[in-house]
Amino acid sequence: MFEFGRDLRKLFEKARESDDLGWLELIGADLVEAEARRESIDAGRVSCTDPFAGWMRASALWREHARRTGRRTSLERAAAAASDAARHTATPDQTAATAIESGEIHLLRFDLFGGPEKLTAALMDVQSLTMERPATRAAAAALHARLTARRARLSGEPSAMLDAAALLDAAVHGAQGMPRTVGDDLRLDRAALSLDAGVARRDGRLLDQAGRDLQVLVEAASPDYRPLTRARALALAGAGLMALARLARNEAATEQGQALFDAAAEQFTPDHSPLDWVAVQLVQAQADTPLLPLTQAEALTREPGLVLGALARERRLAAATNLAEDAGDVAALFGLEAIVRQRLLNRTAPPLDWAADQIGMARLVMARGRLMGVEPRAVGLMLTEAMETAREWGAPALVERAMLAAPETIGL
């Protein structure tokens, strides 16, 4: 998809030395990993003239690889590189920069694997920093705003969301002189926060704010140079439009939302950024979604404990259950149930994977009950436990899936 001629290779080599890592969007996940390894080796050489900068860059590259693939090992390597950078600091601002990088790793770890305590720990670290340079203060403010926004979205409290929105506004303004990737992440977070609050409160002003942020991102992110940023903005816009369409029962808005999802999926291939591809597939998944893309999404998210992995597993299992029930295949339902039951017996399974299987088991029990004419047992308990676990680990999308699975008689 992205091949470089001689002139573009020269630009690529020059971009490697830039503080703006937006150029990484032009290369696939495997090449990002290769770049991270190369930078780590260079930073660790005795001959390295600036080991602090080298380790900081290596950490950012490993972090980007983890963001694309969900690999825990890449997150661990990012953390190790940030720790190595901390051993070579010479000024208070460099010390603050390593703490900010560590905070970015905590934030990504939460996004990938859940665990709200990671946000709290990172917030405490960033609030205690001592900084001199305006650029360092702006970077700290950006991280603080993004962490606060994550916590506000989990709480759903109007006052917390308003406070987080104000912090994001200030951070966006303060990020004007920083690498554009910082501003892009802030706008995406502000749009997500505005959409959550706008849909929940049916507030047109907040929805307009989200629309403006996403329009700026889509227009500024060329598909030839910023495909992932463009896809993330398009997918978020599609999710917002779909949510509004459900509230208004507007078929035209549903079709427009689907068109945005399709446009997002066209920006890159699954191997370019596996998790971005999976996110687009899952956010648009409907009751009649074909089994094949859900199976592929599950295969790309095998890392234990991954939030998207739990969602992919639950969606794929729901689709397989629906197919078996539609075909009246009780034996297939029993076969699926045996597989899920075996996984539930694994006491070392990550909590979110366990919650996904609990939802899947509840669906299987209900489907089997409908086919065999028997009353399903313990469905409410299964779904309640799954919801509590998903909430505890900060995975609201999985909570929503449990609620959608519940029959009306349970009233979760």
When the pLDDT of each residue in the chain is averaged and rounded to a whole number, the result is 90
With vertex at residue 73, the alpha carbon angle to CA 70 and CA 75, rounded to the nearest 5 degrees, is: 65
What pLDDT was estimated at residue 409?
A: 59
What pLDDT was estimated at residue 107?
A: 97
Chain segment 116-168, per-residue pLDDT in tens: 999 998 998 888 888 889 999 999 999 999 999 999 999 999 899 999 999 99
**Cβ contact 182:142 at 8 Å:** yes
Q: pLDDT band at residue 66, thresholds of 50, 70 and 90?
A: very high
Which residues have C-beta within 8 Å of that of residue 260, sequence separation ≥ 6? Answer: 234, 235, 237, 238, 241
Residues listed for the chain: 412
What pLDDT was estimated at residue 4?
A: 43
Chain segment 304-354, per-residue pLDDT in tens: 999 999 999 999 999 999 999 999 999 999 999 999 999 999 989 999 999
Chain segment 350-391, per-residue pLDDT in tens: 999 999 999 999 999 999 999 999 988 899 999 999 999 999
Chain segment 87-97, per-residue pLDDT in tens: 999 999 999 99
Chain segment 342-354, per-residue pLDDT in tens: 999 998 999 999 9
**Residue 273 corresponds to which tokens in the numbers above?**
């950024």
What pLDDT was estimated at residue 16?
A: 60
Chain segment 3-59, per-residue pLDDT in tens: 444 444 454 455 566 667 788 999 999 999 999 999 999 999 999 999 999 999 999
Q: pLDDT band at residue 285, thresholds of 50, 70 and 90?
A: low
327 CB neighbour count, 10 Å cutoff: 11
Which residues have C-beta within 8 Å of that of residue 215, sequence separation ≥ 6? Answer: none
Q: pLDDT band at residue 286, thresholds of 50, 70 and 90?
A: low
**Cβ contact 94:135 at 8 Å:** no
**Cβ contact 108:115 at 8 Å:** no
- Give the whole-angstrom CA distance, residue 128 versus residue 92: 12
DSSP letter string over 203-266?
Answer: -HHHHHHHHHHHHHHHHHS-TTT-HHHHHHHHHHHHHHHHHHHHHHT-HHHHHHHHHHHHHHHT
Which residues have C-beta within 8 Å of that of residue 190, sequence separation ≥ 6? Answer: 149, 165, 168, 169, 172, 209, 210, 213
Distances (CA, A) of 334 to 30, 192, 321, 330, 341: 39, 40, 10, 6, 10
What pLDDT was estimated at residue 5?
A: 44
**Cβ contact 44:36 at 8 Å:** no
Rounded to two decimals, what is the model's pTM?
Answer: 0.92
One-letter amino acid at 105 equals I
Mean pLDDT of 202-215: 85
Looking at the predicted structure, is the pLDDT value of residue 237 above 60? yes
- Taken in order 306, 308, 312, 318, the sign of the CA dihedral is positive
